[in-house]
Structure 1
Amino acid sequence: MSKVFIALQTNDDTRSIIQAILADNPHAICNEQPAMVKIDAEGSLTVRRSTIEELIGRDFDLQELHINLISLTGHVDESDDELTLSWNN
């Protein structure tokens, strides 16, 4: 299986987003750098709006990810509720 990843800036806005991604993807590995966090996962990685909203205590539009997004890899499947990274074989 191939790995996918998402890399986000490290700041107050992304801390809860990172926690939500890790909660929804227990197989993911978090690699913290001084200015970014890179989350790697075998197979797929899903970002769920509902989990982020629970942690931040407000409505969240997944498009807000782009403000702090550094990079990602994988095929992107996106809806209003989820963003999933995977490789279609």
Structure 2
Amino acid sequence: MSQLASLTFYHNDDARPVIEAILADNPGVQVLNMPGVVKLDREGDIVIKRTTVEERLGRPWDPQEIHLILISMAGNLDEDDDAFSVSWKHPPPFNRG
């Protein structure tokens, strides 16, 4: 059984372009709108591409800006200058010692 990657954002004007970009680049994302927050779930992974967000914003966007609108996440984080993603595909090493 696979786990859902999940991102929860504030539901505000700053988050809307990021949410739109996620929906454009990640087919099958399930959206749960709640008062003040939007929760996005997807089996496997959710990837936020810098270029897709920039298209919606009409300005340069640094993936680090996501931390201003992100409430919580479920999955292993991977981020660089071009993308921000969460997934369960590559779990971190576990020290059993």
TM-score normalised over the length of structure 2? 0.88
Aligned twin of 2:36: 35
Aligned to 1:38, the other structure's residue is in SS state strand
CA–CA separation in structure 2 for the residues paired with 1:38 and 1:27:
14
Residues 45-71 of structure 1, C-alpha deviation per residue, up to 9 Å, x if partnerless? 101110000001000011111011100
1:13-37 CA distances to partner (integer Å, 9 max, x unpaired)?
A: 1111100011100111111111000
Alignment-mate amino acid for residue 85 of structure 1 = V
In 1, the alpha carbon distance for the partners of 2:56 and 2:34 equals 22
Who is 2:52 aligned against? 51
Provide the residue aligned with 1:78 in structure 2: 79
Structure 2 unmatched ranges of 5 or more: 92-97
Residue 21 of structure 1 is matched in structure 2 by 22
User: Per the alignment, in what secondary structure is the counterpart of residue 81 of structure 2?
Assistant: coil
SS at structure 1 position matched to 2:15: helix
- TM-score, with structure 1 as normaliser: 0.95
User: Identity rate of aligned residues, in percent?
Assistant: 43
